[in-house]
Amino acid sequence: MSTYNPYDDVLATITRAADILGLSENDYAGIKYPERELKVSFPVRMDDGSVHIFEGYRVQHSSSRGPCKGGIRYHQDVDLDEVKALAAWMTFKCAVVGIPYGGAKGAVKVDPSKLSHGELERLTRRYTAMILPLIGPERDIPAPDVNTNGEVMGWLMDPYSMMKGYAVPGVVTGKPLDIGGSVGRLEATGRGVMINVREFLKKRNETLAGKTVVVQGLGNVGGIAAKLIAGEGAKIIAVSDVSGSIAKPEGLDIEGILKHLSTRGSLLKTYNAEGLKRLSNEEMLCMEADVLVPAAMQNQITPGIAERINAKLIVEGANGPTTVEADKILESRGIQVVPDVLANAGGVIVSYFEWVQNIQSLTWDEENVNSHLNRIMINAIEAVYKMAEEKKIPFRTAAYAIALQRLVQAKHIRGIFP
Ligand code: GLU
């Protein structure tokens, strides 16, 4: 078996969407390649006085529809192909929901749980200095992703602002409220996932009340999605984090679990409650449920798992959790998948609102943020659903086709420089 390369999966998905649209290779060739790839190596002074060299990346996949946009992740396993795939997914995500951005992604190869708070701050500041020539509110705007958060965004905003000589909040999104963050941004990705679950069930004349839901991953996406989905009356029957999975057929106490996890360093394996069953990751993914929300990492639903999945609907909270081969198996088994580029777009949609507020020096209230998020998400869901029905194609292909059409059109209107 060949080794998994997420960028190959991106290309395969783009090609399938291009075939549906009847595009010739010439029309979309440019979209197959990232516009810019930056790899950096940089030193960080560790607490014990030693100097450690870290490797980082920033990939700008497309700026055809607007400034490049996308998060920064800290993870020990990242490589350039993963960042390229993540950057391309951002391009398609922004295009399918119709916000005026291209796509980018950044990463540092590091396990942040092994660093002290001070080391993490120095690493972030130096990484920011290394990618400084590429970023800016009008060219490329980072945001949180796996293992990064509002505090890290503050450490990104600061070097950029110091270099300019004045505060530039619009250079990053997902910031704390005190330095220009937006209300609703922290919950936005999870809220978007909940909206997708709710709306796609509605298409089947069903509601969330009483539904059984499995959520893989309890970070910013999975944790909030689980809470909001439970709030709509569904039963979260299994959840997981890096330390393991737990299940309870009557429904888990999500608030209690999130409270337990909120202490730094605390994991699911030390959470205890009556009637809990501990499972392997595979057992959890294959549980019988109405909805499965993979909200951890890419490459989780592989062909072997796809054969045994027992959920009726999959809503992708993570980026790239399902491989192309697994997708084909799910399609043949009639299991519908709401793709990442649609399902987890809530985060970047509210990042867009944050950036708009920063540029205009205004603040929106939560009602305004959430109602606009709801409207943009529902419009995108309707468009994807309609195309999937009309062309008898999976939601992923429909979402990519809509996005690709917009990208091709933007490139066509702008033409080729010079
Ligand atoms: N990291 C998030 C994502 O993958 C958010 C990106 C952003 O807000 O720019 O969609």
The confidence score (pLDDT) of residue 264 equals 78
Residue 265 has pLDDT above 90, yes or no: no
* Per-residue pLDDT reduced to its tens digit, 332-354: 999 999 999 999 999 999 999 99
The confidence score (pLDDT) of residue 165 equals 98
Residue 247 has pLDDT above 50, yes or no: yes
What is the best residue among 74, 145, 357 to mutate for testing ligand 1's pocket, by most ligand atoms within 8 Å of CB?
145
What backbone torsions phi and psi does residue 146 show, to the nearest 5 degrees?
A: -55, 125
Q: 144 CA to middle of ligand 1, Å?
A: 6
Q: 146 CA to middle of ligand 1, Å?
A: 10
Q: 143 CA to middle of ligand 1, Å?
A: 6
103 alpha-carbon distance from chain centroid: 12
Instruction: Assign 2 a pLDDT band (cuts: 50, 70, 90).
Output: low
Write out residues with Cβ below 6 Å of ligand 1: 69-71, 143, 145, 173, 319, 344, 347-348, 351
Burial of 266 (0-12, 13-18, 19+ CB in 10 A): middle
Nearest ligand 1 atom to alpha carbon 93: 10
What is the best residue among 74, 78, 90 to mutate for testing ligand 1's pocket, by most ligand atoms within 8 Å of CB?
90
Query: Which domains, ranges and CATH numbers included, belong to the chain?
Result: 34-168 (3.40.50.10860), 186-343 (3.40.50.720)
Name the DSSP letter for residue 268. G
The confidence score (pLDDT) of residue 400 equals 98
Cα 174 to Cα 225: distance, rounded to the nearest angstrom: 17
pLDDT above 90 covers a percentage of the chain that reads 99
* Per-residue pLDDT reduced to its tens digit, 389-409: 999 999 999 999 999 999 999
Residue 52 has pLDDT above 50, yes or no: yes
Which of these is catalytic: 105, 175, 235, 312?
Answer: 105
* Per-residue pLDDT reduced to its tens digit, 96-128: 999 999 999 999 999 999 999 999 999 999 999
* Per-residue pLDDT reduced to its tens digit, 140-187: 999 999 999 999 999 999 999 999 999 999 999 999 999 999 999 999
- Overall average pLDDT of the 176-204 stretch: 98
C-alpha torsion angle, residues 214, 296, 317, 171 (rounded to 10):
150
What is the best residue among 189, 342, 376 to mutate for testing ligand 1's pocket, by most ligand atoms within 8 Å of CB?
189
The confidence score (pLDDT) of residue 197 equals 98
Q: 191 CA to middle of ligand 1, Å?
A: 14
The confidence score (pLDDT) of residue 376 equals 98
Nearest ligand 1 atom to alpha carbon 70: 9
Nearest ligand 1 atom to alpha carbon 173: 8
Residue 248 has pLDDT above 80, yes or no: yes
Respond yes or no: is residue 105 known to be catalytic. yes
Q: 90 CA to middle of ligand 1, Å?
A: 7
The confidence score (pLDDT) of residue 1 equals 47
Residue 108 contacts by C-beta under 8 Å, 6 or more apart in sequence? 54, 55, 56, 57, 72, 73, 74, 78, 123, 127
Q: Which helix (H) or strand (E) holds 56?
A: strand 51-62
What is the best residue among 193, 224, 348 to mutate for testing ligand 1's pocket, by most ligand atoms within 8 Å of CB?
348
Residue identified by tokens 């100097």 is: 51
Nearest ligand 1 atom to alpha carbon 351: 8
* Per-residue pLDDT reduced to its tens digit, 275-314: 999 999 999 999 999 999 999 999 999 999 999 999 999 9
Q: What is the CA radius of gyration of the chain?
A: 21
Q: Which residues face 39 on adjacent strands?
A: 57
Instruction: Assign 316 a pLDDT band (cuts: 50, 70, 90).
Output: very high
Q: 175 CA to middle of ligand 1, Å?
A: 12
- Overall average pLDDT of the 316-326 stretch: 98
Nearest CA to ligand 1 atom 8: 348
Transcribe 270-292 into DSSP letters. Answer: G---TT-EEE-HHHHHTSEEEEE
Transcribe 99-135 into DSSP letters. Answer: -S--EEEEEE---GGGS-HHHHHHHHHHHHHHHTTT-
Q: 86 CA to middle of ligand 1, Å?
A: 10
Residue 384 has pLDDT above 80, yes or no: yes
Burial of 30 (0-12, 13-18, 19+ CB in 10 A): middle
The answer to whether the beta carbons of residues 24 and 412 sit under 8 Å apart is no
Pick from 272, 246, 249: nearest CA to 260: 272
Buried/exposed 372-408: b ≥16 CB within 10 Å, e otherwise: bbbebbeebbebbbebbeeeebbbbbbbbbbbbbbbb
Nearest ligand 1 atom to alpha carbon 71: 1
Nearest ligand 1 atom to alpha carbon 144: 1
pLDDT above 70 covers a percentage of the chain that reads 100
Q: Across the chain, what does the average pLDDT equal? A: 97
Cα 164 to Cα 168: distance, rounded to the nearest angstrom: 8
